[in-house]
Structure 1
């Protein structure tokens, strides 16, 4: 008998998600012990199977084989793969068989897409009364914009995040994949809550999760501010409504920056000592928080004049040793080399059948009990036989018939 099994061991997820937001949700559930079966068509695969996240040096785009997209391999670990053509009735019939032996069904398609295939919540709970269904659509299942498509930048814009992101004298800035991943975390949380509810009551759930509303939930204090005082929050760059200094400062070298923020007069006195200008703490322009905020531009100029002549990592060390909140702005190379992350074993080595060893980001948590053993993202159709024969009990003749009809790979 296992000691301290992973919390979702024994839970099965039928994962109809693709691109970013949905797949990462499924990966998180898989890392918690669930068996996640990714369902996709072999002629219309997950887009990320063919995408690399950096420009190649080739003069023309290089086709990426379906198992070698880097984003796909980062966001789909700990899953199995079943190929099904859901445009064919035979594919939908197999999908419903999978639902019958699953606990959770998840998709991030447009609102109503699953229902049009005969796989809406009302239909699925006839198959399994306590099924938990998550729909992670752009704008939810209800409302006048429910049929609209959307990706991360759209969700960030409509949700209000883009308007308050950027510099005061410039345009709104769109976030990209991080919006999707945030919504993935929200969706995974909702699923775990629904599982808890089912354990207590025996009832399934339909989770209508809007990615736009997921963005808006992150700026609740700004919405409350508008409701209370009628002021529309504007872009502030790296500044803060009250604190100063609060910015990202250029350091010596090319594109090297350090983030620094000061929250009290005492901290500012320490900063003034560190940069060799203790007299700034008594300067009427900077003697208290309100004065520093009023003269923020001049204060930023003084600080950056000093930081631009010094190494970023040396600065971070000096500031932190003095008890200040500071950190380097890091790129991918910095993160991979970070000794703290290495000590925490944030990166894991996964053996990929086609790409060999890949060093990828593991789970963003550490839990006591069984360790999460990360497995490579599934090859397209890698687990067709397991799902069709072992889980669903199809015969050789039935599997061969599906293959001849091009329903499966």
Structure 2
């Protein structure tokens, strides 16, 4: 049975344009976009006063499965993502076991096929010794390769310079990097441990995971990419100095080095540690207010190409610990778009820029097939935003398995009304529908 849904009178944001119009969906796909469409449909939705955008494609999440499912699961976090208007995600390899072989990677795809409400892809992890596995990647089926050039959660840091050189030289798919210089961080940690013992104040986190450590690693990654012509994507830029590494004088599709900003590095800053404590401990660290403002400016002027979450949940018991024992990371997928729409309400981002950085550019950067735009022939991954319905974040409305959020107590002026994944209404005015699951992303490479 063919299922048709007609969305009427929405304010559509697509390809840097804004207009009031209609979208006709047939089963999984958009089949028509226009004004005053008068077509038969099984379901008609009046979206007057609401904003229709392509679903966010989050190119950096940690859903913790397998091996760390006391923190999160693909099922729980994909539901939270859909509730937050994220229709597709790319998940990181630092699970247990680490996804550093094709077989282990495919195990994750099998699990997602069973439980993920959103569409999905998984990065292959890099070690000092797995180049042979990396070269087996089918670029049409896998989003990219992840290199931890600085340690974060788990122990996947690639610190052998020869291994790094060979990876940058021989791997032909996109390489995404976590860039922090571990030796510099280690020296900083020694100094603060000598001063405070184990009770280092959380406010020292951006001094230990310093801007110098970020820049040294990011600039090194870029130098390798320049040397070998590697397709490099540097994740979660956190300092204003790093922004000078990136270009905005050419179209994104012509760049061989691109960059990502995360919600927390634009929203929070050092002064928030006093209230939020280890709940906003991330790697790289949240730094100064001037860094957050510079990153937001770089999103606007196109030095930063995409926006993501780096969703990385831990339990409250784990987070509520002393500085060195508290892990870095926090849950964000349910509130990324509301936070970005808050920036819109504040006049800091346009709707067109939000859509470009969360959908269009991600789809283009990774060459994702038939996603990221509101176009006939594309999958109907769509989000309706209510710009006049506030959302106050509380434990009662969280879908994360970890049960907390750094945004608790925050009231956003906009909320997610509906989320369609492959034409299926998976989130509707506060209610999850999970009878139809997401699909594996494929890539036109």
Common fold, TM-score beyond 0.5? no
Give me the TM-score of the superposition, normalised by structure 2. 0.27
User: Greater relative contact order (Cα 8 A, min sep 6): structure 1 or 2?
Assistant: 2
Q: Would you tell me which structure has more helix in proportion to its own residues?
A: 1
Give me the TM-score of the superposition, normalised by structure 1. 0.29
